[in-house]
Amino acid sequence: MGQRITQIDAFSDTPFGGNPAAVCLLAGPAGEAWMQAVAREMNLSETAYLHPEAGGYRLRWFTPGGEVDLCGHATVASAHFLWEEGHLEASAEAVFFTRSGRLSARRSGEWIEVDFPADPIEPGEPPPEVGEALGAAPVFYATTGLYALAEVESEAELRSLEPSYERLRGVHPIGLIVTARSSEPAFDFVSRFFAPNVGINEDPVTGSAHCSLGPLWGERLGKTEMIAFQASPRGGVVRLRLAGERVILGGQAVTVMRGSLTSEPPAGS
């Protein structure tokens, strides 16, 4: 039996929705080259690697193009995996040690709530290549600690975007969040996320982007609790609660595949 791997759709309550992540529970640290090779093989927006550490789990996230500092949907998927597979009691908190510090997750009914750091925005003038890449002029532009962010005029415009991924490569080394106020009463705002430089032309649902979107729309709407929709072809719902310098992201998750790799992980550090 090789290394087990599980594919989980996060920010969705049904299979084949939301954002898929692969989750590998390891006995200990594994070599980075092997983890990156598996992530390329899985070809999902994220492959998450866990191993026990100090009463919790070390958690690392890899896209097909490289390791990232923060990932929401693969954290939701990792917590779902630990509870579903019996590694944690249903009532227990999942604790993760990551490149973005200590993160935690708890179950709230059918939802999983993850406690993430807010990612403050710095407004600025949009570089010309942003509008050129999107085919639409931003009405607001900012940079965050992780990404670039552009607001467009309406949800209809956001949904109709057909960006040039080649031009988007020059906008930001990781990715660009695009957002608009929702035209539907069920949601407060909508977004899309593009990250061709890390091997993801359009990410289905991006939890980490909501660490900036939450504070931005919370201030504009005068709310501390919101419901967002990421309008990718797969789509996904994110619940948000603002808590000072933290953002609590809520999502559902469903397991869609279990299997094993024939390649065993080499030891790493």
- How far lies 101's CA from each of 25, 70, 92, 115, 139, in Å? 19, 9, 20, 11, 33
Query: At residue 181, what is the residue type?
Result: R
pLDDT at residue 267, rounded to an integer: 83
- Does residue 130 share a domain with residue 228? yes
Residue 116 included in any domain = no
Helical H segments across 85-142, by residue range:
128-134
Catalytic residue among 46, 113, 151, 202: 46
Whether residue 130 is found in the same domain as residue 30: no
Q: Which of 198, 228, 194 is nearest to 210 (CA)?
A: 228
Residues 9 and 25 in one domain: yes
Establish if 147 belongs to a structural domain. yes
pLDDT of the residue at 62 = 96
Q: 238 and 142 share a domain?
A: yes
**239 shares a domain with 125:** yes
Clarify whether residues 159 and 234 are in a common domain: yes
Question: SS3 sequence, the chain?
Answer: CCEEEEEEEECCCCCCCCEEEEEEECCCCECHHHHHHHHHHHCCCEEEEEEEECCEEEEEEEECCEEECCCHHHHHHHHHHHHHCCCCCCCCCEEEEECCEEEEEEEECCEEEEEEECCCEEECCCCHHHHHHHCCCCCEEEEECCCEEEECCCHHHHHHCCCCHHHHCCCCCCCEEEEEECCCCCCCEEEEEEEHHHCECCCCCCCCCHHHHHHHHHHHHCCCEEEEEECCCCCEEEEEEEECCEEEEEECEEEEEEEEECCCCCECC
Q: Per DSSP, what are the bridge partners of residue 105?
A: 94, 114
> Are 16 and 66 within one domain?
yes
The end-to-end CA distance of the chain, in Å, is 24
**Confidence at residue 105, expressed as pLDDT on a 0 to 100 scale:** 97
My answer on whether 93 and 36 are in the same domain is yes
Shared domain check, 233 and 171 = yes
Query: What local confidence, expressed as pLDDT, does residue 214 receive?
Result: 97
Same domain, 232 and 256: no
In a domain, 114, yes or no: no
Number of domains in the chain: 2
Same domain, 64 and 80: yes
- Does residue 266 fall inside a structural domain? no
Note the pLDDT tens digit of each residue in 192-224. 999 999 889 999 999 999 999 999 999 999 999
Active site residue 113: no
What is the reported pLDDT for 263?
83
In a domain, 267, yes or no: no
pLDDT computed for residue 1 by the predictor: 61
CATH number of the domain enclosing 221: 3.10.310.10
Residues 102 and 139 in one domain: no
Q: 269 in a domain, yes or no?
A: no
Element (H, E) at 73: helix 72-84
Range of the domain at 256: 3-106+251-261
Q: What is the pLDDT of residue 269?
A: 64
In a domain, 87, yes or no: yes
Rounded CA separation 150/143 (Å)? 9
In a domain, 111, yes or no: no
Which regions of the chain are under pLDDT 70? Answer: 1, 269
Tell me the two tokens of residue 147: 């990404």
